[in-house]
Amino acid sequence: MKELSEQLLSAIDFAEPRLCAVSAGESIQSALPGGWSRKQVIAHLIDSASNNHQRFVRASLQPALEFPGYDQAGNIRVQAPQDVDWPLLISLWAAYNRYLAHVIARLPENKLDTPCRIGSDQPVTLRFLATDYLTHLVHHLAQIGAVRPA
């Protein structure tokens, strides 16, 4: 998990200055045709950090995890990230993910196969959740041009 943690930190370190270079005006425009704005994407990634933080810790403390699903459209609607200061979203996203990198690096090896069911999905392991977290983050950063080219 240490390598995964380092990859997460690398993604944050690459993306953060690129996000900071985006103007407030640009941050509210659709990043993709008909899609979310950069503010909405970063707010979604903050939600992902929050949900996965709880999943990682709880799965490390119990024999199995049952966790509710995630209503992404509802969360974005209720939180109204379009009305939040862009630098605040960036700093919260970056800081929360740096903390998650710390947590991921310390996930107990003997808990990585803990079964985790999210909503009505099939169970996956804690290891899969942590790995998929980074995959999901990189996918969305790529959508808004804030990921290192392959």
Residue 142 CA: distances (Å) to CA of 27, 30, 131: 15, 14, 17
Lowest-confidence pick of 22-31, 53-62, 69-78, 124-133: 69-78
Residues 23/34, Cβ–Cβ less than 8 Å: no
**Residue 67 phi/psi, 5° resolution?**
-135, 140
Residue 90 CA: distances (Å) to CA of 42, 113, 123, 144: 7, 32, 32, 13
Residue 1 CA: distances (Å) to CA of 8, 17, 61, 137: 11, 25, 17, 16
Neighbours of 71 (CB within 10 A): 12
In this predicted structure, the answer to whether residue 73 has a pLDDT above a threshold of 90 is no
Amino acid at site 52? N
The residue with tokens 């990634």 is: 45
Residue pLDDT, tens place only, 91-140: 999 999 999 999 999 999 999 999 999 999 999 999 999 999 999 999 99
Quote the pLDDT of residue 22.
97
Residue pLDDT, tens place only, 131-147: 999 999 999 999 999 99
Quote the pLDDT of residue 148.
82
Q: What is the mean pLDDT of the chain?
A: 95
- pLDDT mean over 69-75: 87
Q: How many residues does the chain have?
A: 150
In this predicted structure, the answer to whether residue 150 has a pLDDT above a threshold of 70 is no
